[in-house]
Amino acid sequence: MSINHQVAGWEAVAFLRCEKIQSTQFLNKADLLHQKLSALAQLFPIQFGNEVTRVWIGGDAMTTLRAIELRCPVCDNEFKSQSVVSTNAFGGKRTDFHERAAGTQPLAYLIHMCSECGYSGGEADFTTAADVSPVLKQQVFKELAPLRPALVCGSEKYEAAAKVARWQGTDPRHIADLLLRAAWCCVDEGDVEAERYFRRHAAWMFEEALSAYDGVPREERAILTYLVGELWRRIGDIRKAGLWFEAVPNEVTDLQNQQWVIDAADQQRLNPREWFG
């Protein structure tokens, strides 16, 4: 199973170590909230192929990259890329769960794009075990190869990976994850319009996942409902954001462990902040 079948998070970047929102109502809950989110983070590893990859976050490490050589399973092109060895979480966490590193941001290096045809995915997607059908190859040659840029940025790689995921029939939740990460890359790239574009499409895909009976595990629905609200808030649709924030309590399955989600939704609905912590 490829990254495009199960991209579940950047070392749980969406939910890792969000100790509290800076509000007096959370100050006495900091330790408890940290414990809850640390446990929740285990639900969202990054899975590339059949191997779960955990990139070390924390300590004194700056982002460290290594050079790798990949062979494209679509066009057989050999090319060089870079992957993440270690990083840090010193840059803070935005309220859409975008965790920032001090120094080089690692997100763009978790996805690779073939320099010849534009096929994109994680390292495991460039092995002989990759799920590459004749139909997928045809789609890549038709839609990605003609548009392949000479200099590729992170958002373009995630957008291409989302297209590959769609052609592979991946579920909406994981396509949404890829589109959300494209939006996060746009923050680093300074492209406000593209950021809004990817947030909008990520929100729609998360909504599609939530509307399906088994599109999202029951214990994750409250978090993703909050996230959809936060995406619409950042897009600028305050009315739609409010509706999603108000729906969060109805999705909670364990009040003791998920009270922080309700608190976060109330905070962002009434007095929104841009950062956790």
Can you give the pLDDT at residue 30? 39
Beta strands in the chain (DSSP E): 46-48, 51-53, 56-57, 64-71, 78-87, 92-94, 99-100, 112-113, 120-121, 275-276
* Model confidence pLDDT, tens digit, residues 193-237: 999 999 999 999 999 999 998 899 999 999 999 999 999 999 999
Which residue(s) pair with 100 in the sheet?
92
Secondary structure class of 226 (helix, strand, coil): helix
Stretch (H or E) spanning 228: helix 221-235
Long-range CB contact pairs, 30-37, < 8 A, 24+: 33/260, 36/257, 36/258, 36/260, 37/260
Task: For tokens 């574009």, name the residue.
Answer: 197
Q: What is the pTM of this model?
A: 0.81
241 vs 111: CA distance, rounded Å = 30
